Amino acid sequence: MKQLQEQVARNPEGDNLIIRTAVRLLVPFIQLYGLYVIVHGHYSPGGGFQGGVVLGASFILLALAYDLKTSLRFMSERVNNLLSNLGALIFIGIALLCALLGGLFLDYAALERLIPLGAEEWHSLGIFLVELGVGLAVMSIMVSLFWDLASGGDMEEGL
């Protein structure tokens, strides 16, 4: 492993160029696919969690192909932290909103009072919103897990 690291250090661009280009091309598609998985979770396998992981994987791929700094340019540490909080907050917020609107906790039908769409539709929409939150949280957490583990916590250099 050490050899490899040394090799990379000696030759920062060269050998990795093909991989980098490929990754660069691939990443948007992976992210699109991740979004699709989240959004289409109602009709096909997938959902917030799987989609979130795929989205996270795209950033991890960036970090693998380039280095940690590059991936940090795409999503800074602060944004990452914000997104993970936001994801979890969306879920709990919606659950709480249902309760505050007079229903029970997580009773999406209570959102009817906000915009009347029909109870079933609200259930569907509620699940969607919640999955979105899950996706956000999972994505950012997966990325942050990788960052920390790959850099040993100092966020300076990756693998």
Partner 1 sequence: MDQLLTEIVGKYNYWLYVVLMMIGFYAMIGKRNLVKKLLGMNIFQTAIILFYVSTGVKRGGQIPILDKHAALSHGVDASQIINPLPHVLMLTAIVVSVSVTGVALAILVRIYREYGTLEEDEILEKIRS
Partner 2 sequence: MTATNLHLYVMVAPLLSAFAVNLLGRRSRNWIAPLALGALSFSTLGALLTLQRVLQHGGYRYTVGNWQPPYGIELVIDPLSALMLLLISAVALVATVGALKSVEQELPGREHLFFTLYMILVAGLLGLVMTGDAFNLYVLLEITSITTYGLIAMGRGRAPLASFNYIIMGSIGACFYLLGAGYLYILTGTLNMADIASILPGLQGHAAIATAFGFMMVGLWVKMAFFPLHNWLPNAYSLAPTGAGIMIAPLMTKVTVYLMIRVMFSIFAPEYTFFAHPGVQAGIVWVASLAILCASALALAQRNLRRMLTYILVAEVGYMVGGVWLANSTGMTGAVLHIVNDALMTLCLFLAAAAIVYRTGSLDFDHLRGLYRRMPLTMAAFTVGAFSMIGVPPTCGFFSKWYLILGAVEAGHWEFVVALLLSSLVNAVLFFRIIEIAYFKVNPQPSGDGLLAGEAPLWLLTPLLTAAIALLAVGIGSGPLVNQVIRLALPPGLAP
Partner 3 sequence: MKVFALLATLATGIVLLYGTRDFAPWGDPDSPANSHLSRVYIERAVEETHVPNLVTAILGDYRGYDTMFETVVIYCAGMAVVCVLRRSRS
Residue 99 in contact with partner 2, rule: CB under 8 A: yes
121 contacts which partner out of partner 1, partner 2, partner 3, none, CB within 5 to 8 A by kind?
partner 3
For 143-153, b/e burial (b = at least 16 CB within 10 A) is bbebbeebbee
In whole angstroms, what is the distance from residue 81 CA to residue 76 CA? 9
Count the neighbouring beta carbons within 10 Å of the beta carbon of residue 135.
30
Residue ranges in 4-43 that form contacts with partner 2 under rule CB under 8 A: none
Residue ranges in 26-85 that form contacts with partner 3 under rule CB under 8 A: 41-45, 47, 49, 84-85
Residue 86 in contact with partner 3, rule: CB under 8 A: no
In whole angstroms, what is the distance from residue 131 CA to residue 125 CA? 10
Token pair in block for residue 64 = 């693998």
154 contacts which partner out of partner 2, partner 1, partner 3, none, CB within 5 to 8 A by kind?
partner 3
Q: Footprint of partner 2 on this chain (CB under 8 A)? A: 81-82, 85, 88-89, 92, 95-96, 99, 103-110
